[in-house]
Chain A
Amino acid sequence: DIQMTQSPSFLSASVGERVTLSCRASQNINKYLDWYQQKLGEAPKLLIYNTNNLHTGIPSRFSGSGSGTDYTLTISSLQPEDVATYFCLQRNSWPRTFGGGTKLELK
């Protein structure tokens, strides 16, 4: 199975700050990498698919990049409503595997 490692596990940032979350795969996943946001008590919500495609209705402050084994989710200007846990998911190989998550809090 492909192992997905997210860093950092916890991140504290201020409103308006640029935030970068990382996800590393144990092997090349050919950009089949999605990002999900999960708020407390809710189901995960799709933000970005195939590395850099913004899902419908997602604010443009969210963006994704990467290739090979290394991928990044960037929030250009952190908003209070962005407090959540963020997960990456690889869809290159079976079984699909998720990263352990980055919990994002406000400073």
Chain B
Amino acid sequence: GAVVSQHPSRVICKSGTSVKIECRSLDFQATTMFWYRQFPKQSLMLMATSNEGSKATYEQGVEKDKFLINHASLTLSTLTVTSAHPEDSSFYICSAARTGPNSPLHFGNGTRLTVT
């Protein structure tokens, strides 16, 4: 069964508003979670690494003030898209590893964000 739960699965928002996406590890604790973005017919691009109890690590080119990440507990990480614009419309997917580094990542089912 699913080990990573992501919510919501779909969200439509108006330009200028903020949207929060939640990612939960269901039966294990994840000190690290990863947020990916995927455009249609393209691969997954790592946006940031979410670290429990500390600041997230963002990949080059990803605006940390636009994509706020909070990893407040060992089972929950949130991604907030602030002041969303139509170009932020995309498929956002979170992931976590059950065990240590180099363990396979398990992915949530993704969130389809549409900004109108």
Whether chain B is bound by chain A comes out as no
Q: Which residues of A contact B (CB under 8 A)?
A: none
